[in-house]
């Protein structure tokens, strides 16, 4: 395997790390910094000395330093973690485990009830089995999305790797969901310049578009119109999903991206409550941010703002 390929692979691993990672030379100058480090430490500049206080922990950052030698040069790999990160992570993990257990319990309880009913004389066994099949599908969907979110958080799924045109992926997702949207009474449309590109893997872009569309199909209500659009704004590239349906109360908008959170109308739905949490995680990992706009009776708009695509660095 060539040294060039090894160097490229190393750069990708550093760039896509969920940790804030930098490489320092023997004079404390930044040789290279991963995306998370550049985003979380604005005064961190490749080629300059590492900002004061980062290595000493005076800025609320705990450094983990791994020294090594490369071609006779002494360098250090430095992981920069915020104080309390591990405590917060443990609290999040515990809460997530409890939430998954709760979400699984409901369809499993319904499944058990259906099977017990099917054993009674005179019951419509075929109909009950079909209902049970639906509960099994609900459990499968939940498990799939939990595993996908777990892979995103562990860093085993790379979100950004090269640039791709956005519009073809949006068109493909709309085509795949057209029949399902029609059954729900929701119309789908796609808008945007076919030339716009993002630094997001095709699979991740499709997951974002699919979850935005499915959210509208489930919750916007019959007669609603939903639009997937991509457009350039001064801050970057915006991918948005907009519907004119029943909307969400303004005080609930900020919570839509929480795992398992469901607004009032959605609480009786068969959704997993993870779709928008997955959207937020992918967008954040790609260096962007998400926001929700709307109100009760005013529809819902989910905006995903990405940094404009740039040329890969050498």
Q: For 164-306, CATH number?
A: 3.30.565.10
Q: Which two tokens stand for residue 132?
A: 């049970």
Give me the phi and psi of 8, to 5 degrees please: -65, -45
- Is the whole model's pTM more than 0.75, yes or no? no
Q: How far apart are CA 180 and CA 186, in angstroms?
A: 9
In this structure, which CATH number among 3.30.450.20, 3.40.1800.10, 3.30.470.30, 3.60.70.12 belongs to the domain 3-83? 3.30.450.20
**Calpha distance 99→105 (Å, rounded):** 10
pLDDT in tens, the chain (314 residues): 455 556 676 677 777 676 788 889 888 898 888 888 887 788 888 889 988 888 877 676 777 787 887 777 888 888 877 644 544 445 445 545 555 565 667 678 888 888 888 888 888 888 888 888 877 876 776 676 666 666 665 555 556 667 889 999 999 999 999 999 999 999 999 999 999 998 888 888 888 998 899 999 988 999 999 999 999 998 889 999 999 999 888 888 888 887 666 554 444 455 556 778 888 888 888 888 999 998 888 899 999 999 876 544 44
Hey, where are the domains in the chain?
3-83, 86-154, 164-306
**Those residues with Cβ within 8 angstroms of residue 110's Cβ, 6 or more apart along the chain or in another chain:** 135
Q: Show the CA angle centred on residue 256, arms to residues 252 and 257, nearest 5°.
A: 145
CB atoms within 10 A of CB 211: 22
Strands 225-233 and 187-192: parallel
Residue 164 parent element (H or E): strand 164-165
86-154: CATH topology: Helix Hairpins (1.10.287)
The tokens describing 178, both together, are 């057209």
Which distant-in-sequence residues (6+ apart) come within 8 Å of 101 by Cβ?
none
What is the number of alpha carbons within 13 Å of residue 203 lying toward its C-beta?
7
| Nearest to 220, CA basis, from 302, 291, 305 | 302
Q: How far, in Å, CA of 258 to CA of 275, rounded?
A: 10
Nearest to 303 by CA among 312, 311, 291: 291
CB 226 within 8 A of CB 187: yes
Alpha-carbon distance of 252 to 246, in angstroms, equals 13
């Amino acid at each position: 395997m060539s040294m060039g390929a090894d160097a490229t692979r190393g750069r990708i691993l550093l760039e896509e790390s969920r940790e804030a990672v930098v490489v320092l030379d023997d004079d404390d100058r930044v040789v290279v910094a991963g995306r998370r480090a550049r985003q979380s430490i604005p005064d961190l500049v490749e080629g300059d000395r590492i900002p004061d206080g980062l290595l000493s922990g005076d800025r609320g950052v705990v450094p983990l330093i791994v020294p090594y030698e490369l071609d006779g040069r002494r360098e250090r790999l430095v992981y920069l973690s915020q104080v309390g990160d591990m405590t917060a992570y443990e609290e999040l993990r515990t809460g997530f485990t409890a939430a998954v257990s709760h979400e699984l319990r409901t369809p499993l309880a319904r499944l058990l009830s259906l099977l017990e009913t099917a054993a009674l004389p005179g019951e419509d066994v075929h109909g009950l089995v079909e209902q049970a099949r639906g509960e099994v599908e609900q459990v499968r969907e939940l498990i799939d999305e939990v595993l996908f979110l777990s892979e995103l958080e562990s860093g085993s799924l790379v979100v950004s790797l090269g640039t791709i045109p956005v519009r073809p992926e949006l068109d493909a997702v709309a085509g795949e969901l057209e029949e399902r949207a029609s059954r729900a009474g929701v119309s789908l449309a796609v808008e945007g310049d076919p030339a716009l590109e993002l630094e997001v893997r095709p699979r991740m872009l499709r997951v974002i578009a699919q979850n935005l569309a499915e959210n509208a199909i489930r919750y916007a209500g019959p007669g609603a119109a939903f639009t997937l659009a991509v457009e350039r704004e001064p801050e970057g590239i915006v991918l948005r999903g907009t519907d004119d349906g029943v909307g969400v109360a303004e005080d609930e908008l900020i919570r839509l991206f929480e795992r398992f959170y469901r607004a009032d109308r959605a609480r009786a739905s068969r959704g997993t409550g993870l779709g928008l949490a997955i959207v937020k995680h992918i967008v954040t990992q790609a260096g962007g941010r998400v926001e929700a706009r709307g109100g009760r009776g005013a529809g819902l708009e989910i905006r995903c703002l990405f940094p404009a695509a740039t040329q890969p660095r050498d």
